[in-house]
């Protein structure tokens, strides 16, 4: 019989994840800070819990995906929730955190007999909907084995090492993605300013060494100037800041990561923190004043502002 799942956080990523688990017939109780965001799951068979503690009561697996470390601290370590977690429960934290925070979470929960896995994901809302997320898992192997029936419904989960390892792997993913976003934006700007049909040139790269999800998904957004968030600039910058912290401790020189971090920081300071990470195009355009990728939508001034 499938273990009961407590699911905390049904926002942009959490809700489609919970929907996939329910579609697989797994028993699930969901909680969200704004309960109305969890209500649609009720029609799919979920129990809507009024509090986090009620959601995890009797659960063998608890999935949690919140915005940041402060939210995790507030929700996961509330006395009522700690009391509701039975010894042996596996907590799967799908939130992107600093590795230090993940290790501390594992230590604290171990004191209550609870197993903690740091399991950040990559793939954005489309990957959550389609069940194709890359899931990078740190923590005890026995906990990973317990959680696999749940994680396999969400995407491809790989155990990468002890506590904190999942978060470190996610930071590596962000370094790669940040460089790719900048490179795609630069290539598209080059096309647009040298007489090449931008969209056709992008498609011409499909299947070659330059092909990637960044080129396909975010490249399309850059050309269409669709910067409403899937993944926010501010959260991406948070991860690149954490990567910079780890690199400094290890005395590593990571010049590409340093450059993309500076570019995302500039985007944030320019007021684009709430935009999708495809807004990297705006930073490349800022560095090339008056030049644009693709055509501006009707009525939009050539200021680098996003269209909504």
Last residue within a domain, chosen from 137, 161, 185: 161
Question: Final residue of a domain: which of 110, 130, 161?
Answer: 161
Torsion on CA atoms 140, 20, 56, 139, rounded to nearest 10: 10
3-state secondary structure 141-190: HHHHHHHHHHHCCCEEEEEEECCCHHHHHHHHHHHHHHHHHHHHHHHHHH
**Beta strands 121-122; 133-138: pairing state:** antiparallel
For residue 226, being part of any structural domain is answered with yes
Domain range for residue 230? 168-286
Domain closes at, from 161, 187, 205 = 161
Q: How much is the pLDDT for 69?
A: 84
The predicted structure's pLDDT at residue 1: 62
Both 125 and 232 in a single domain?
no
Q: Can you read off the two tokens belonging to residue 182?
A: 């900048």
Closest to 120 measured CA to CA, from 190, 87, 80, 168: 168
- In this structure, the answer to whether residues 101 and 177 fall within a common structural domain is no
Token pair for 23: 């579609």
Is there a domain that residue 293 lies in?
no
Whole-number Å distance between alpha carbons of 28 and 19: 10
User: Is residue 295 assigned to a domain?
Assistant: no
Asked if residue 207 and residue 156 are part of one domain, the reply reads no
**Would residue 303 count as lying in a domain?**
no
Q: What is the pLDDT of residues 105-151, one digit of tens each?
A: 999 999 999 999 999 999 988 999 999 999 999 999 999 999 999 99
Q: Tell whether 175 and 279 lie within a shared domain.
A: yes
Write out the catalytic residue numbers: 170
Say if 134 falls within a structural domain: yes
CATH number of the CATH domain containing 239: 1.10.1040.10
Q: Compute the half-sphere exposure of residue 175: CA atoms within 13 Å on the CB side of its CA.
A: 18
Spatial CB neighbours of 17, under 8 Å, sequence gap ≥ 6 = 7, 63, 65, 94, 128, 133, 154
For residue 153, the domain's CATH number is: 3.40.50.720
Grade residue 231 by pLDDT with cuts at 50, 70 and 90. confident
Same domain, 176 and 265: yes
Q: How many domains does the chain have?
A: 2
Shared-domain flag, residues 179 and 199: yes
On whether both 17 and 156 belong to a single domain, the answer is yes
Distance of CA 31 to the CA centre of its chain: 19
Q: What mean pLDDT value characterizes the chain?
A: 93
Average pLDDT estimate for 152-175? 98
Q: Do 13 and 142 belong together in one domain?
A: yes
pTM for the whole structure? 0.90
User: Do residues 238 and 95 both lie within one domain?
Assistant: no
Examine the domain organization and report whether 199 and 129 are in the same domain.
Answer: no
Could you tell me if residue 66 is inside a domain?
yes
In a shared domain, residues 112 and 239: no
Supply 272's token pair.
Answer: 């684009």
Per residue in 234-269, pLDDT (tens digit) is 999 999 999 999 999 999 999 999 999 999 999 999
| Share above pLDDT 70 across residues of the chain, in percent, rounded to a whole number | 95
* Residue 172 and residue 152 share a domain: no
């Amino acid at each position: 019989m499938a273990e009961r799942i407590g699911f905390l956080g049904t926002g942009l990523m959490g809700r489609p994840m919970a929907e996939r688990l329910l579609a697989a017939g797994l028993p699930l109780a969901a909680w969200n800070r704004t309960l109305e965001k969890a209500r649609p799951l009720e029609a799919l068979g979920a129990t809507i819990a009024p509090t986090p503690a009620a959601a995890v009561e009797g659960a063998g697996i608890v999935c949690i995906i919140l915005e940041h470390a402060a939210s995790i601290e507030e929700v996961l370590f509330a006395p009522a929730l700690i009391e509701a977690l039975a010894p042996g429960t596996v907590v799967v934290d799908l939130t992107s955190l600093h590795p230090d925070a993940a290790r501390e979470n594992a230590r604290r929960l171990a004191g209550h007999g609870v197993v903690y896995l740091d399991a950040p994901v990559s793939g954005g809302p489309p990957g959550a909907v389609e069940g194709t997320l890359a899931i990078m898992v740190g923590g005890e192997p026995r906990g990973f084995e317990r959680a696999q029936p749940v994680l396999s419904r969400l995407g491809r989960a790989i155990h990468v090492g002890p506590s904190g390892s999942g978060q470190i792997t996610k930071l590596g993913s962000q370094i790669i993605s940040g460089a790719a976003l900048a490179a795609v934006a630069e290539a598209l700007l080059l096309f647009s300013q040298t007489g090449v049909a931008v969209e056709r040139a992008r498609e011409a790269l499909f299947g070659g060494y330059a092909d990637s999800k960044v080129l396909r998904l975010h490249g399309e957004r850059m050309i269409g100037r669709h910067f409403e968030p899937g993944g926010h600039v501010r959260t991406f910058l948070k991860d690149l800041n954490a990567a910079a912290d780890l690199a400094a401790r290890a005395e590593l020189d990571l010049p590409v990561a340093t450059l993309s971090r500076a570019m995302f920081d500039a985007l944030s300071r320019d007021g684009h923190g709430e935009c999708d990470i495809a807004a990297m195009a705006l930073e490349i355009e800022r560095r090339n004043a008056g030049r644009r990728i693709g055509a501006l939508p009707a009525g939009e001034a050539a200021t680098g502002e996003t269209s909504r």
